[in-house]
A and B are shown apart, each in its own frame.
Chain A
Amino acid sequence: MIKVDNISKSFEGSEVLKGISTVFEKGKTNLIIGQSGSGKTVFLKCLLGLFETNSGQIFFERTPIDEMSFKERTILRQEIGMVFQGSALFDSMTVEENIMFPMQMFTKKENEEIRERANEVIERVNLINANEKYPDEISGGMKKRVAIARAIVMNPKYLFCDEPNSGLDPKTAILIDNLINEITEEYNITTVINTHDMNSVMEIGEKIVFLLNGKKAWEGTKKDIFNTENQAVSNFVYSSDLFKKVREMYLKK
């Protein structure tokens, strides 16, 4: 569980996050949605500890991140898996080496044992015949799978994804969404996904936090989103005719 308590973040006097509070529960797929520039990525980077907040606190289970010792933070970071928007795979390493890397870094296991575990997760994310390939030799969808495999290889407690299906075709995007959702349930982890893809919202959004100009403007489940009277979230989610029709059909039912 991750609890966010009234956090704010500014850059050179400009306030990007304004007093956001929410809770991301364990075993659930939590989505942060909002327009470009609404502060989603900054929010995610604050959760990850890549940005220090100006005020407020972030609790991992019951411990606030800013009160953790260096050692505690290091341990916490090893319990976090992250899928970056551009996958952030290491160019100089093969797919297999990318996935083995966190284990080589933080465990005392022998290389053979690490390779075995890497191949387990490679199989789990359905990556076929890609072990020896370099990141620039594989497709965008495969890169995301490698990034997911790298993120879960250490059995993390928390999984963060920044726009995991951006730049992917709709079919692959849904496959990636479902993969993340399945992994969340299978590993019983707290997953936080940053997205502006409405398919993801409809497909896997167990909890949705809507950000508008750095503030939390709405939160609820994917069912709540059909019934919401919040104008800002309706304008955002139902901006396309397709989703307007989907909502109309849902409400008629």
Chain B
Amino acid sequence: MLSNIGKYFIMLQSVFGKFTKWRILKQLIFKDIESLIIGSLGIVSFISFFVGGVVSIQTALNLENPLLPKNLIAFATRQSIILEFAPTFISIIMAGKVGSYITSSIGTMKVTEQIDALEVMGINTYNYLIFPKIVALLLYPLVICISMFLGILGGYIACVYGGFSTSGEFIEGIQLDFIPFHITYAFIKTSFFAFILATIPSFHGYFMTGGALDVGKASTVSFVWTSVVIILLNYFITQLLLT
């Protein structure tokens, strides 16, 4: 475990070592933006919209006291989506989707000796394979932004059309006690998660050994470790920024 942590940091150092030619790197970055960011928008939108709706319905069903104002439904929906659901929950989903893709694509390159072929040519394979993914995932906060918007929209539609509150009450609730720093907090942790999402799965793909079956195993291990690190980091960042 300790040696793996050491290897991970040495890998990070090498990622920012000898740089690949810009004209090649540019193509790789665009390819990765397409597969990691654009390719994830569909599933992120779908999950965010419906989970937002569910959060809103469950909050509404639990507000049994008639003295509690209906705008609390929107308030609770906004808080859960902005603070936790969009940045953390979506990142765990992305650890499965994007993380597995990164591990399996790099792992397959390893198994089929494509990484050896790059090394023999004198290419810094860490930079060539991992750096474009880190750059592509700089756009990850944009995905989370879309997730936040769609989550709240899903909550609005479920709440208003489900008859739990009026449109006015929901919009009032969304604005209630709004603290702008919560958005900053969400994007700070999203940026850290983006780095984790790019590097831990790359590490597991790059250092895997064995054959095709082991690529699958490496993807599973990568998902577990990416999730664990995201959850721990989430705890520490929250402790640091919100208390």
Q: A residues touching B (Cβ–Cβ < 8 Å)?
A: 45, 48, 50, 73-78, 80, 82, 84-86, 88-92, 102, 104-106, 160
Complex Cα–Cα for A106 and B121 (A) = 9
CB distance from A48 to the nearest CB of B (A): 6
B91-99, B109-117, B134-142, B155-163: which lies at the interface: B109-117
Q: Is there a chain A Cβ closer than 8 Å to B123's Cβ? A: yes
Query: Which chain A residues border B117 with CB–CB below 8 Å?
Result: 82, 84, 88, 90
Complex Cα–Cα for A80 and B24 (A) = 21
Q: Which of B18, B21, B116, B122 is in CB contact (< 8 Å) with A84? A: B116
Query: Which chain A residues border B108 with CB–CB below 8 Å?
Result: 91
CB distance from B101 to the nearest CB of A (A): 13
Interface centre among A45, A80, A84 (most CB of B within 10 A): A84
Complex Cα–Cα for A85 and B111 (A) = 12
Contact A82 B122 (CB under 8 A): no
Contact A88 B112 (CB under 8 A): yes
With A104-B21, A105-B24: A78-B113 Cβ-Cβ less than 8 Å: no
Q: Is there a chain A Cβ closer than 8 Å to B242's Cβ? A: no
Contact A86 B112 (CB under 8 A): yes
Query: Which chain A residues border B112 with CB–CB below 8 Å?
Result: 86, 88, 91
Contact B121 A85 (CB under 8 A): no
Contact A78 B119 (CB under 8 A): no
B interface residue count range (under 10 / 10 to 19 / 20 to 34 / 35 or more): 10 to 19
Query: Which chain B residues border A45 with CB–CB below 8 Å?
Result: 116
Contact B24 A104 (CB under 8 A): yes
With A104-B21, A105-B21, A105-B24: A80-B114 Cβ-Cβ less than 8 Å: no
Complex Cα–Cα for A153 and B69 (A) = 74
Complex Cα–Cα for A85 and B117 (A) = 11
Q: B residues touching A (Cβ–Cβ < 8 Å)?
A: 18, 20-21, 23-24, 31, 108, 112-114, 116-117, 119-123
Contact B113 A77 (CB under 8 A): no
Contact A105 B113 (CB under 8 A): no
Contact B23 A77 (CB under 8 A): no
CB distance from B7 to the nearest CB of A (A): 16
Q: Which of B23, B113, B120 is in CB contact (< 8 Å) with A85? A: B113
Contact A86 B113 (CB under 8 A): yes
Query: Which chain B residues border A91 with CB–CB below 8 Å?
Result: 108, 112, 114
Contact A105 B114 (CB under 8 A): no
Contact B113 A104 (CB under 8 A): no
CB distance from B147 to the nearest CB of A (A): 29
Q: Which residue of B lies closest to A76 (CB)?
A: B122
Complex Cα–Cα for A97 and B186 (A) = 42
With A104-B23, A105-B21: A77-B121 Cβ-Cβ less than 8 Å: yes
11 A-B interface contacts by CB (under 8 A): A77-B120, A88-B112, A90-B114, A90-B117, A91-B112, A92-B31, A104-B24, A105-B24, A105-B123, A106-B121, A106-B122
Contact B122 A88 (CB under 8 A): no
Query: Which chain B residues border A50 with CB–CB below 8 Å?
Result: 116, 119-120
Apart from A48-B120, A105-B24, list 17 A-B contacts with CB within 8 A.
A50-B119, A74-B18, A74-B122, A76-B122, A77-B120, A78-B121, A80-B120, A84-B113, A84-B117, A85-B113, A86-B113, A88-B113, A90-B117, A104-B23, A105-B123, A106-B121, A106-B122
Complex Cα–Cα for A85 and B31 (A) = 28
Q: Which residue of B lies closest to A82 (CB)?
A: B120
Q: Which residue of A lies closest to B116 (CB)?
A: A50
Complex Cα–Cα for A104 and B218 (A) = 32
Query: Which chain A residues border B119 with CB–CB below 8 Å?
Result: 50, 77
CB distance from A41 to the nearest CB of B (A): 10
Complex Cα–Cα for A105 and B22 (A) = 9
